[in-house]
Amino acid sequence: MINIYTEKEIKVMAEGGKILAKIMKEIVKEIKPGITTKYLDKVAQDLILKYGAEPSFKGFNNYPAVLCTSINEEIVHAVPSERVLKNGDILSLDLGIRFPANKASKGYCTDLAITVPLGKINKRVQKLISVTQKALEIGIKQAKAGNHLEDIGWAVQNYVERNGFNVIRDLVGHGVGKEVHEEPQILNYGTEGTGPELVEGMVLALEPMISMGNYEIEKCDDGFGYCTKDKSLTAHFEHTIAITGKRPKILTKI
């Protein structure tokens, strides 16, 4: 079942999304060669507490950290560690919060991801990042009342493949709100005009994950993350959006 949220509930999610965007901006400022991803996880945890929210990833499916830090061929859900970031890496950060914290009724979840290059990267890698970010924008434009769910993935896939990259097929976006992951699953590929009709009040986490090589994946050594099977580089961008009467509303705009 796909949850439909009221205008009041979406307003609370928008407050949380604004806080999540602020937190992500502050984390990005800390990224530089020589630091560990575990350090970034501590930064994220401190900021979440500072802004009166709660981490939504920690403990979800036994995930042990607050932040997901996926490097190079790691696509998503990689666990922060003592691994040191170096010049030329690309780092995908994925973060979710529940806001407001410590309420008897529980807060609402929002979700946001971004890919950041460290230092100098070549033009092909920069294109990968740019195309992934643009693919998210294109997907969001399709997320309007009256369209169908697979219109989103169809638009993402067409744009990505025209630019010489591949969408990851075994990982998906999702509904979000009362829980971290809700129905529906949102493919980054699809057939135009198919899937459930999008209606006002749906809240969705759209998240294109794009590979420079093949789209086949495997588990990372940490047991939580996913990597490309051919070890090709990947990028990942995500926003939480609400379907409104006029146009999709981005709740996590940075």
> Is 74 annotated as belonging to a binding site?
no
Using DSSP's 3-state secondary structure scheme, residue 55 falls into strand
> Is 94 annotated as belonging to a binding site?
yes
Where do runs of H (alpha helix) occur along 51-86? none
Confidence of residue 157 (pLDDT cuts 50, 70, 90): very high
Name all domains of the chain by residue range, CATH numbers in brackets.
7-246 (3.90.230.10)
Q: What is the mean pLDDT of residues 179-193?
A: 97
pTM: 0.97
List own/partner pairs for 62-69 with CB under 8 A and 24 or more apart: 63/224, 64/224, 65/41, 66/41, 66/95, 67/27, 67/37, 67/40, 67/41, 67/93, 67/94, 67/95, 68/92, 68/93, 68/94, 68/95, 68/113, 68/225, 69/37, 69/40, 69/41, 69/93
> Is 236 annotated as belonging to a binding site?
no
The predicted structure's pLDDT at residue 9: 96
> Is 77 annotated as belonging to a binding site?
yes
The predicted structure's pLDDT at residue 105: 62
Residue 103 has pLDDT above 70, yes or no: no
Percent of the chain's residues with pLDDT above 90 = 96
Beta bridge partners of 173: 186
The predicted structure's pLDDT at residue 20: 98
Residue 96 has pLDDT above 80, yes or no: yes
Phi and psi at 193, nearest 5°, equal 85, 10
> Is 111 annotated as belonging to a binding site?
yes
Q: Tokens representing 105?
A: 């009724």
Beta bridge partners of 210: 167, 235
Q: What is the mean pLDDT of residues 36-43?
A: 98
Q: pLDDT (tens digit, 9 = 90+) per residue, 202-246?
A: 999 999 999 999 999 999 999 999 999 999 999 999 999 999 988
Confidence of residue 104 (pLDDT cuts 50, 70, 90): low
